[in-house]
Structure 1
Amino acid sequence: MDPSWNSSDKSGIAQPAPPPYQANQGYPNAGYPPQQYGPPGGQPIPQAQYPGQPPITVQPTVYVGPTPLANPLPDYLGYSIFTMLCCCLPLGIAALIHSMSTRNANMSGQQQLAEKNSRMARILNHTAVGLGITFIVVYIIIVIVYAIRLH
């Protein structure tokens, strides 16, 4: 116990002392008392308003701003990632940029910008795949010709 605490100093507190500790005498099995949910008899509790208080109504949140396009144009994002990694890196990066711009234009409701970027992403992707296939075919022909000359 704190020696500086003096009960006479605390006598001015307006709160009553807590009740003394009692063991669970009302419950033969020690533990928590049985739980009862809701009012007795299962009747619902009436929800009364305070007098003079108007009811509170909550209005739904309305989003004001550009709405996304109802029929978004294809952004060719997966195709752009494939061409960037597997076919032609520079054209794939350009196609990826246009694909992301198409997605942003679709979300902001800009139809003309989405059409322009979607078309450019598709053209760049097709060109990158064409160049990638051409380089692979030329590489295979060079390897075969070089292998024939060695024998």
Structure 2
Amino acid sequence: MDPSKSPSAPPSGWNAGEKAGMDQPPPYQDYSAGYNPAPGYPNQTGYPQGQPYGAPYQGQAQGPYPGQPAVTVQPTIYVAAGPLAQPLPDYLGYSIFTMLCCCLPLGVAALVFSVNTREANVSGNRPQAERSSRMARILNNTALGIGIVFIVLYLVLYITVFAVSR
């Protein structure tokens, strides 16, 4: 650095009037008062106009547009005409009876197939409903047969034990 030149003097060719406002911040532009950078177009900022900074928004509450009805969408259920339109029996009551009174393991399995039949009927899956209904009926009949056999064996054993003991 050349000591003959003082740091307070501007360099040669420097126009002091051109850069006079460099040490001050730029002037404030009020965007909330409806400043529109492109005349002829609506507000492009996406913010409400006329509100001071930090003030709560006083516009309409969010929701459906005024005057438009609310739309409720429900799932579509296809209904066939004729004999295929009737739902298949699910044997739910029969399954609960065989589970509680006859044979618990087969009754539980029949209950599962009964519920599967009901779900397949609701969803319209006819082949799955047929398979589950048939299996529920088979398991229920088997559980009922096993229950009847055990009850008959118990009665025979009970009668023979009391007949012998008297």
TM-score (norm 1): 0.57
Between the aligned partners of 1:62 and 1:135, the Cα distance in structure 2 is 53
CA gap of 1:138–1:121, structure 2 versus 1, over 3 A, is same
Pairing partner for 1:67 from 75, 78, 81:
78
Higher relative contact order at CA 8 Å, sep ≥6: structure 1 or structure 2?
A: 1
Tell me which amino acid in the other structure corresponds to 1:96.
Answer: L
Alpha-carbon RMSD: 2.4
The answer to whether residue 108 in structure 2 is matched with residue 93 in structure 1 is: yes
Between the aligned partners of 1:127 and 1:64, the Cα distance in structure 2 is 38
Q: Equivalent residue for 2:117? A: 102
CA gap of 1:68–1:147, structure 2 versus 1, over 3 A, is farther
Structure 1 residue 68 displacement after superposition: 6.2
Partners of 1:80 and 1:93 within 8 A in 2: yes
Between the aligned partners of 2:77 and 2:96, the Cα distance in structure 1 is 28
Pairing partner for 2:129 from 94, 114, 119:
114
Misfit runs of 4+, over 2 Å:
56-70
Tell me which amino acid in the other structure corresponds to 2:144.
Answer: V
Pairing partner for 1:134 from 142, 149, 152:
149
- 1:47-66 deviation digits (Å, cap 9, x = unpaired): xxxxxxxxx67597564545
Between the aligned partners of 1:84 and 1:101, the Cα distance in structure 2 is 16
Between the aligned partners of 1:64 and 1:140, the Cα distance in structure 2 is 54
Aligned length: 98
List gaps (5 residues or longer) in structure 1: 1-55
Structure 1 residue 67 displacement after superposition: 3.3
Tell me which amino acid in the other structure corresponds to 1:67.
Answer: Y
Question: Structure 1 or 2: larger helix share?
Answer: 1
Structure number, greater radius of gyration:
2
Pairing partner for 1:80 from 66, 83, 95:
95
Percent pairwise identity = 56
- 1:90-139 deviation digits (Å, cap 9, x = unpaired): 00000000000000000111000000000000010011111101100000
List gaps (5 residues or longer) in structure 2: 1-66
CA gap of 1:128–1:68, structure 2 versus 1, over 3 A, is farther
Between the aligned partners of 2:165 and 2:112, the Cα distance in structure 1 is 45
Partners of 1:83 and 1:129 within 8 A in 2: yes
Structure 1 residue 82 displacement after superposition: 0.6
Between the aligned partners of 1:82 and 1:61, the Cα distance in structure 2 is 40
